C-alpha cells in the first residue's frame, strides 16, 4: 500500500516483503527527496520492517542515488541501523555504480557501497527477500 507520495517517489509499505519500497520518479527535487526520507524514517520507526528497497526501475536516466544517500546522511540516519537489508533495484546498476564511485565525498563519509545490496532483476530481488524472511522468521 502507498503510504506517502510526492513528485520524487511513491513510498510503499509492502507487508508481503516486510519492506519499505521507494519507487523513485523522474525529476525529483532535493526538497522532495528529503520529504521521502522523513516519511521512510517515520514509517520504519512505527513498524520495524526488515528491508529498505530503493526502486529505480521507472527512471528514464542514469542515477547514482547520491542525493538519496546524502539526504539520509543529512538527517544522520544510518539505514543499516534501521533495516536488516538496504537494497537497490536498478536495471542500470553497472552504470550507476560507476557514477556513485565518482562521488568520493559520500563514499568517504558514508561508505554506502558496503551496506547496500544491488539487484537488476525484480525476480532475483524477490527470491532474496523470500529467503531472507524465512531465515529471520
Q: Is the separation of the CB atoms in 124 and 86 below 8 Å?
A: no
Q: Write down all domains in the chain, each with its CATH number in brackets.
A: 2-136 (3.30.750.24)
Buried b (16+ CB within 10 A) or exposed e, 97-130: beebeebeebbeebebeeebebbbeeeebeeebe
Cell numbers of 94, please? 553497472
Query: With the C-alpha atoms ordered 94, 98, 103, 105, is the resulting torsion angle positive or negative?
Result: positive
Q: In tens digits, what is the pLDDT along the chain, a chain of 137 residues? A: 889 999 999 999 999 999 999 999 988 899 999 999 999 999 999 999 999 999 999 888 777 777 888 899 899 888 888 999 999 998 887 666 666 666 555 544 544 555 788 899 999 999 999 999 888 76
* Distance, CA of 56 to CA of 8 (rounded, Å): 11
Q: Is the separation of the CB atoms in 9 and 22 below 8 Å?
A: yes
Environment class of residue 134 by beta-carbon count within 10 Å: exposed (0-12), middle (13-18) or buried (19+)?
exposed
Amino acid at each position: 500500500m502507498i503510504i506517502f507520495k510526492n513528485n520524487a517517489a511513491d513510498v510503499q509499505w509492502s507487508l508481503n516483503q516486510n519492506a519499505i519500497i521507494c519507487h523513485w520518479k523522474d525529476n525529483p527535487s532535493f526538497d522532495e527527496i528529503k520529504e521521502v526520507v522523513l516519511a521512510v524514517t517515520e514509517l520504519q520507526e512505527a513498524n520495524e520492517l526488515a528491508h529498505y528497497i530503493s526502486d529505480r526501475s521507472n527512471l528514464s536516466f542514469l542515477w547514482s542515488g547520491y542525493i538519496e544517500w546524502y539526504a539520509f546522511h543529512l538527517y544522520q540516519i544510518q539505514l543499516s541501523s534501521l533495516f536488516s537489508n538496504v537494497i537497490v533495484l536498478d536495471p542500470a546498476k553497472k552504470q550507476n555504480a560507476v557514477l556513485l564511485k565518482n562521488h568520493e565525498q559520500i563514499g568517504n563519509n558514508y561508505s554506502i557501497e558496503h551496506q547496500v545490496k544491488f539487484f537488476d532483476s525484480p525476480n532475483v530481488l524477490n527470491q532474496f527477500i523470500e529467503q531472507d524472511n524465512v531465515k529471520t522468521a
